[in-house]
Structure formats: C-alpha cells, structure tokens
Structure 1
Amino acid sequence: MRVLHTADFHAGRNLRGFDRTPEIHDALREIAALARTERADAVLVSGDLFDTANPSAEAEHAVFDFFLSLRDAGIPGVVIAGNHDSAARLGSVTGLLGWVGIQVVAQAGTPAQMVRHVETKAGQTLTVGALPYLSERRLVKAGDMLGGDVGAWRQKYREGMGFFIRKLGEGFEPGHVNMLMMHATMDGSVPSGSERTLQFDLTNGYTLSGLQLPAGAQYVALGHIHKPQTVSDTPLACYPGSVIQLDFGEGGERKQVNLVEVEPGRPARVHDLPLSSGRELRTLRVDLEHVEARLSALKGYEGLLKVVVRAPAGTALPGLKDRVLKLMPNTLAVDLEAQQEDLLIPELRREGLSLMDLYERYWRERRGELPDDLRSAFREADEAARTEAEPVEVGA
C-alpha cells in the first residue's frame, strides 16, 4: 500500500499583508499530481488545512479543489482538524467531503467515530486512528464523554492524550495497514523559527512522548510542526512539514510530502517527495551604510524578502523603506535593528569596568574630563558603600 502523508496547508495565510493563498493552491495542485503519479492508494492530511478559523473564499477554494482533484483520480483520504482550523466549520462539510471520498474527523469523540477504514482499489484496508487537535479545554470535554478522570487531566495533558491514543490503538486490526494520525507536538521535535505557539508547547510541557505511541501503529502521521522530520523510529512517526515556506522563520527550509510504503504487519518505509511550489523567503541583515550595495547584489531574486537594517540606537531613518522598495519591490518587511554602541565597540563595552570607570565615562561623554575633586569624592563614597555592605563577623 502506498499512502501520501501531508499536513499544514495554512490556506489563507497572510504574510505582512501579502496573501500566500495562490502559492498554497499551486502546492496543493502539485501534491495532487504527485498522488496520481506515485500511485497513492490514499492521502492523509494531518490538520491545519486553513490558517484561520474563518478562512477566505479563496482559501476554501484552494483546499476543496485539492480534494476534488483526488476524487477525479479515485484516491480516498482521511483528514483531521488542526489548531488553526475551526472544528465546527470542518464538521459542517463532513457530509460533502465524504461524498468525494474524504473522511473528516473534526472533533474528538468515541473510538467508533475516530477510527476510520479506507478500502483501496487493490482490496486492502487502511485503518486510521484519527485524533484531531485537542486543546486542554477540548481534552477535558471529550474525556468526560468517555468517563475518564477529568480532574487529573486538567493537570496532566500528556495523560489525557495518552488515554485517547490507547483507545485508538485498540481499534487496529490484524490484516489491515494500521496508522495513527495526530496534530500534536512530540518530544524532541524541532520547530521552525516561525512557530511561536510550538515554542510555548515545548517549554510548558504540552508535548507527547514517543513511548505513548501504540506498538500496533505501523506509521504515525503527524501534523503541527512545519519542519519535516522523523521523531520516532519504533513506531515510525513523521512530520511532513508545511507545504510552502509560510513565514520568514521557515526561510531556507526544503518542503516535502511523505510517501509511505507499507504492508500489513510489516514495518513502513518512508520516501521524501520534494515540493517546488511557493516563493523562497529570505531574511537579509545589513548595516545601514551597505543597504544599497547589498540589495543591488540581489538583483533578479524572485523570492520574498525581509530586510533588517542595523543602525546605532536613536538613528533617524526617514525614507528607509522607500529606499529598499525602490531596489527590491518584492520586499515585504523592513525592520530596524537598533545597536547599542557600548555592545559593539570594544572600547565602549561595560563588562569588567568598575563604578569609578563607569562614572568617569559618564562624565566625559557629557561634560569632558572629570575634575579631580569629584573623582576623589566619588571614590570615597564608593569605598564607604563597600564598607557598609561587608558582612560583620560575630565572635571573631
């Protein structure tokens, strides 16, 4: 069986006022074409189809056109909701998407609702335990339906998620290809620079351990992290990543989908299929005096640019953005990075300096040389302060 795994479309993404949806639509056309040429038996989409809970008509068109392309190729699929998706909105089109062969699991429910079976043209069965994104609030509500210890889950996200994972693993069947699909953050995963919410997850413990993954899963299809990576070998668990470079934090990342080859009861094999759609994103950091020279050297660059100009703190830079856009009209952002001179110029650094040294520098920068009488007075005051701060030995 050949299963194409993708995730994190983020249709409707707007970057600094620039709509990325046309690029995402191109990427989805490319993925649909790969599904056909690679003879995929099924497609799994691990959440974040849209960038917002209320996507634009163009964003919906891009995603639904992708599913129609799969229907035209006779390729079924399973989709889960991610944290950017509106579970209610996706749930409202479940019937329509089912009509074109796409099974949607928008909200957590009973195992019967989340364990899906896909019959392939070759007569094999793919069983997917589909777990959509669960916030702590949704986890408590969904767990209450199944009689779990809700009070403990409010304190232990990992235990609550483990409860659902075990329930889904119980739905795996001998003779089927068995996969788990989740939109979550795994221990050891490496986020892209743009994924601030994931940084929060990683530092606040909202992650899952690879030890929680069911042994019966031949492949775990993950979504949520935009950087392609494998986070577990037994069972094999992978993030395919986002389909284009969505933010400047993803600049330079190669985008891909995963083609999973697997037979019932046998380990899965994963092949990376690179994607070429979407404009390259690049961040250029440049000193103020070199702006024109550096931008001129990039003439012909067709990607999207973010320019960070380094200048001394307090520098007024009227017309800077116009200067940049004149040379590189495809610049989406011009940011100023103020530099403190005392951190850049060796002779102005503060580390290792005494209070006397700092006072002399302060006086010299504002009034010239420090008079001898003030120097003596400051030194006496400094010594007196040090004496008062010294601990008193008792019983010496």
Structure 2
Amino acid sequence: MDYPDENTIRVLITTDNHVGYNENDPIAGDDSWKTFHEIMMLAKDNNVDMVLQAGDLFHVNKPSKKSMYQVMRSLRMACMGDKPCELELLNDTSEIFHYNEFTDLNYQDPNFNISIPVFGIAGNHDDASGDALLCPMDILQVSGLVNHFGKVIEADKIKVPPLLFKKGETKLALYGLASVRDERLFRTFKEGNVTFEVPDMEGDEWFNIMCVHQNHTGHTNTAFLPEQFLPGFLDMVIWGHEHECIPHLVHNPLKNFDVLQPGSSVATSLCDAEAQDKHVFILEVRKGEPRKLIPIPLKTTRPFIMRNITLTDVAYLRPHDKEGIIKYLVNEVEDMISEAKVETTRKLGLELKEEEEAAKLLQLNLPLIRLRVDYSGPEDRNSIIDYQLENPRRFSNRFVGSVANSNNIIQYHKKRKFPKKNTSNTKGFEYNENLKDNDAELDVQTLVNDMLNKMSLALLPEIGMNEAVKKFIEKDEKSALKDFIDEEIKNEVKMLASSEELLSLTDPEEIRKLIRHVKKAKASQDYSLDDDKDLDPNLASALAKAKKRLNEIEGNPESNRALTNFGITSNELDDIPKNQEDKPVKKSRTENKKRISSTKRASPETKNPLYQIRSLFQMKNNQMPVVRITSRIVLLPTHILIIKLMMILLPSILVMKKIIQKIVPIKKEFHKWQALEKDHHHPPNLLQELQRLRRQMS
C-alpha cells in the first residue's frame, strides 16, 4: 500500500494477541507470536502512521523470556527506521504518563528512531500487579518500543485524558481505558466518577477514538460495560477483550458512534466465537471525508473448524450401537480435517502446481478441530438410555499427526431432561456432564462465587477474597492471599482504634496477659516478636490512637507514665506510628540476624500457603479433601479455606479489641499513685513504684 497523503491518518488496529498462549505445546506453541509478527509486518508494509493495540498483548502478566523476546523483536523490526513519523502531538503527555519519568512519546525521544509508534492499553490478562503496579506494557514502555496509555491507578475515580494528534488538516483524539474489573467499573460509571477531557471542538474538527477492554455483553447485570455509559462525542470505539471478530462497524444509534470489535488474533478456546476468520483492520481518517475501514485477513492463524451435532438427528443411529456411533463420528472428524485443508489452501493462495510445497505447508499448519456431540437419548419418556460412546481421549488418539489438538478433539455433552429448579437467588455451581466425560478443568471463579454466596463472611469482604484467590491461582501471585489478609487487618484495627465504644473500664492487670497473647499469636504467623518490648505496628498504632483519644477527652498529659506501668516504655511510645501508613518500628541488628537465620532455616515447602494452613490446624494429608483445579495446583475447597482464614484472623482481632478496651483504666491507676504521693499517706512500696516508673519513662 502506498504512503498516505499529508492529510490522511492511517491506523492499524489489533487486539487480544495473547502472545505466550499455550507456548509449551509442541505443535501450536509458536502460533501467537508468529501471528503477532505478521501483524507488525502488515503495519510496516502498509505504511501506517500508528498501531493501536486494545489490550491483552500477552497472555499472562508475567510473560516468559521467549514471549517477551519475540514481541520486542517484532516491534523493533517493524517500528524502528529512518522514516519520520508525521504525527504532530498537540498536548502535554505528562498527565497521561505520570506513573513514570518517561513522559514523552517514544517517537519524540531523540535517542530512538521510531517510524511507526505503537499505542496500547493493558488488558485483563496482562494487567498490572505487585507493589509497583507494573504490567508487561510498562516494560515495553520504558524500553521505548510502545506507548502505554490509559492506565488506571484509582478505579473508584477515573480520569480519561486524550492524546491529541494532528497530520496536515486532520486531527485525531485518542482515548484509552485499561481493563478494570467489570462490576467495579460499572459502579464507577454509574456513580458519575469517570470523567473525559474533551479538546476544544469546532464542528467535526476532531475524530475521537477510544480503546476499551471490557465485557461487551452482559454476563451478569453488572459484569460488562454498556455502550450507553460511554460519552456521545466519540466517533469510534475499539472494543477489546471479546475474541469474536466482527469485520465491520456496528453503529450505536443512541450514542451516535460506531463500535469495532476486532477479535483475537489467536484462538485461546475451542468455541464458536473463535471459529470466525481472524482479521486486523486499517482505518483511514481524513478531514471532511467519511472514515475508511479495511479488514485484512490474517494468514498465519491456525485453521479452526467446529461443528455441533446431535445424535438423535441421525436417523439410522441407535443408542446401543456403539461401533456405528464411533464410525459416524470418525467420518465427521475426517470431513472437518478435509474442510480445514481447503481453507488453508485458500488462505495461503496455493495453486495445484505447488502441490508438494502445499503438502509441506499443510503439514506445518495442522488444524484445530472441535466436534461437540449431544449424546442425549431419545426424548421418549419410555427411553432412558443415552447413546453409547467411546472415551474421548481414546477417540482423539486416532488423529495424532493430523490435527493440532489431538488430545481434545471431541466434547460430549447432554441435555438435562428434568432440570432441577434453582430456588436460590443467585446462580450457583451446577454439575456439568462435561466434567465427567472430558476431565475438564473446574472454573475457580465459579467455585469461589458459589461458596461465598452460600455463606456470608463476618470479617473478610467476599469480593476481595474472590479476587485474591483468582490472583493466587491464575496469575501465580504467591503473596496475594497474605497481602489481602494484611490489608484487611489494617482496616479492622483502624476501625477499632477509632471507635468510642471500645474504650471501657476494666482491670488493668489483664493488659499484660493480653499483650503477651497477641504477641504469641502474631509470632505464629511469621511475625518477628522476640520479646515483650516488641509490638506489632498495627497494634501499636491502635494503642497510640487510643492514648491520643484519652489525652483529648480526659485532658491528662501524663498518660504515658501509666502505659509504662504495663510493660510499654517511653521509647516504644515514641516509636509508635502515628497512622497506618507510617513505617513500623525498626528492629535491632541482633533481631535482624535472628530473623535472617530463621528465614534461612525455613524450607521452601513451609513457604507454601497450603502447607501453612495445614500446619496451623495440624491436619493430616489423608484428612484434607482436595479439588483438582488445574494440572499445576491443588486448592482446598473454598468453604474450608474461608473458614480457616476466618479462624486465623478472628482471635487476633478480638484480642486487639480487648486491649483497646483496657486502655482507659490506665488513667485511674496513675491518678491513684499521684494522689497518694501528694497526701504523703502511701504504702511502703510507693517510692519504689514511682522510681521504677520514672526509670521506664526516661
């Protein structure tokens, strides 16, 4: 394609490349990065001004070195060159890229020669995680290969500024919104906490494009982004996350903008939506003329053929005729393989004279085949026999070397003849026949949601628990559960420390016992509390807040002396954080050595969260029921996990509550000793007690 003229902005649009998907597969492991390389070469060959990527560039948020290498290789080959980028940036980008020190676009950096800039947002697969909230796009951004925009720092209050470009007389405003949990984003939009910055417009001067990465259709009442939530000044919305390719614009008459759903460039599941032809799109925008959208079919995508058949529709088959059924299904699969070869030949443009070369290409490009079979018996009430089938693995082994997915070609399912009525208000986990027949993986989200719906948690929020378990399993974030629990403990302590109802009068002698109890409980959860002088920072903050409230309410400036009577020195009081965000008390060099030595002695197995739960509750392996979730992890049943986490948290929070309730008697105790000293009517040990208190205060 020739270069666009001086007033035309040409954009290549792609999304959901999922580089790294199934990369360990010996046949299809390289599919994702090969197709991404084809896309970037299309951008170079068609002389586009920019590339828009609407999320899920990588399949995971911690891509392998191979995946990162292949992406960076393709970006460098396609984007770097001597041809200058003709896009003129009209606004300051420091607000958009405020999360790092590189606030300029990569083609504006004098240290890089960027001919084709790539602009991308983060999806739900390669989203930000960890303390620094970094995602793979940030790595590519800091390396100067992409421009990562649309990052969401605070999901409860979102601000969407545009990137403003100009080429000749044509102006383009580019908006981006990274993936946010659908329910949360739905609530944020509904509460009016999403604001868009709009440039000064004069008629149709600006062409406004927005990239989003959310559910497009309503899986539940709030688990999607309605098009009606988006502002009406937009001209086009590029919708990522949905893998079905719709190769044309869909107009929204209510908002008067067009929606483009490019779909994925690699099939990540064997379903109807993935069976459509894969495309990328070239958009041409020119002032005063209608936009032009050109779909370009991808040639390196693996052919995928899917069929749904119902055995009752085949008149000559009988439920007990197992051999006849198998023969019929084998013929269906062979016919699908032949269809895939024809499609591959058409896609690659092969001719008959290239028969030998075509055979080699067809062998390298083995198809994906999925045959869904409804084996329900006849609907006659007198017949209760389903069709007799062969084991799906044994059936699939016939086609090794002919298909790419030789282990899961066929999928059996049956209709529930007499479905049970669901009396609950929420949809729970139902038994699925496919699990029995195909050894399918259980959906973690389904299990967690089902158990949380059936039992309400008193301390932990259900949504937070669900997200923590999801991160632990799907994104391999080993500290997700611990971070979630620690954050909830902080919130609980903060709430307890600010409650007036917790300040009550009781025996001060019990404070020492309660403090020791908390220290022991914390020590069992990998907290380093070596002696009675070490306080957990959360507990210390609660004590400090309660002490401050006492000083304000009672007007007693010497409450610290009473605190020291219960094993808390003045130095420790000075080190108590003033709020939850302050740093904890620093440990001595000896204590740090103890902590390091204890860490070295710990075996890798003891760091496993499942091992810690077993050891805390002293349960043997044969007493621990398990559910197989994936091939690499074994998870406790969700209800057992939740109960055990509650049992871990509840004692500590209750003890902290009791400690705060014991603070007030300190004032009375101090006044009692002070009154005895002034009246000179005191017991024999008064001077010794006062000297001890003064030494501790010093």
TM-score class, shorter: 0.5 to 0.7
Deviations 1:298-340 (A, max 9, x none): 4684312235567646756497246523574532414462669
AA partner of residue 174 (structure 2): V
* DSSP-derived class of the 1:272 partner: strand
Note if contact 1:184-1:222 (Cα within 8 Å) is conserved in structure 2. Answer: yes
2: CA distance, partners of 1:245 / 1:292: 24
Listed as ranges, the matches of 1:193-212 within 5 Å are 201-212=218-229
Higher RCO structure (Cα 8 Å, ≥6 apart) = 1
Match of 1:51 in 2: 59
Answer yes or no: is 1:258 the counterpart of 2:258: no
The residue matched to 2:305 in structure 1 has which SS?
Answer: strand
Per the TM alignment, residue 136 of structure 1 is displaced from its structure 2 partner at its CA by: 5.2
Alpha-carbon distance in structure 1 between the residues aligned to 2:127 and 2:171: 29
Matched with 2:368 is 304
Equivalent residue runs for 1:13-32 within 5 Å = 13-14=21-22, 20-32=28-40
Which residue among 292, 298, 303 is the counterpart of 1:275?
298
Q: Is the 8 A contact 1:179 1:219 kept in 2?
A: yes
3-state SS, counterpart of residue 58 of structure 2? coil
For 1:1-396, what aligned pairs fall within 5 Å after superposition?
A: 1-14=9-22, 20-72=28-80, 74-87=115-128, 88-90=134-136, 92-93=138-139, 95-97=141-143, 99-100=144-145, 102-108=147-153, 114-118=161-165, 126-135=172-181, 139=185, 156=187, 158-159=189-190, 163-164=193-194, 167-171=195-199, 175-186=205-216, 201-229=218-246, 230-233=249-252, 234-249=256-271, 250-264=273-287, 267-283=290-306, 287-297=325-335, 298=337, 301=341, 302-307=366-371, 312=386, 317=391, 320-321=394-395, 323-326=397-400, 328=402, 330=404, 331-335=406-410, 337=412
Give the Cα–Cα distance (whole angstroms) in 2 for the partners of residues 318 and 266 of structure 1. 56
Query: Shift of the alpha carbon at 1:280?
Result: 0.9
| Cα distance change of structure 1 residues 270 and 326 upon mapping to structure 2, 3 Å threshold | closer
Partner AA of 1:129 in structure 2 = Y
User: What per-residue deviation string (whole Å, max 9, x for no partner) do you get for residues 210-253 of structure 1?
Assistant: 33333332322221111123343521221111113332214531
Please, what TM-score do these two structures have when normalized by structure 1? 0.65
For residue 69 of structure 1, give the secondary structure of its aligned residue in structure 2: helix
Identity of aligned residues (%): 20
Report the alpha carbon displacement of residue 17 of structure 1 after superposing the two structures with TM.
5.2
Distance 1:70 1:285, change over 3 A: same
CA change 1:131–1:292 in 2 (3 A) is closer
CA distance in 2 between partners of 1:8 and 1:46 (Å): 7
Counterpart residue type for residue 145 of structure 2: V
More strand by proportion, 1 or 2? 1
Task: Give the RMSD, CA atoms, in angstroms.
Answer: 3.8
CA-CA distance at 1:95 after TM superposition: 4.0
Q: Secondary structure at the match of 2:30?
A: helix
Give the stretch that moved more between structures: 51-60 or 106-115: 106-115
Where does the alignment leave 5 or more consecutive residues of structure 1 unmatched?
140-152, 190-200, 344-348, 350-396
Once the two structures are TM-superposed, the CA of residue 260 in structure 1 deviates from its matched residue by 1.3
**What amino acid is the match of 1:135?**
R
What one-letter code is carried by the residue in structure 2 that aligns with 1:168?
Answer: F
Counterparts of 1:29 and 1:23, CA distance in 2: 10
Greater shift after overlay, 64-73 or 45-54? Answer: 64-73
Maintained 8 Å contact 2:14/2:281: yes
Give the AA of the match of 2:76.
L
Looking at structure 2, the residues matched to 173 and 20 of structure 1 have their Cα atoms a distance apart, in angstroms, of: 49
Stretches of structure 2 that go unaligned for 5 or more consecutive residues are: 1-8, 82-114, 129-133, 310-324, 342-365, 376-385, 419-698
AA matched with 2:394? L
Alpha-carbon contact 1:244-1:277 (below 8 Å) kept: no
CA contact (8 A) 1:223 1:241 kept: yes
TM-score by length of 2: 0.39
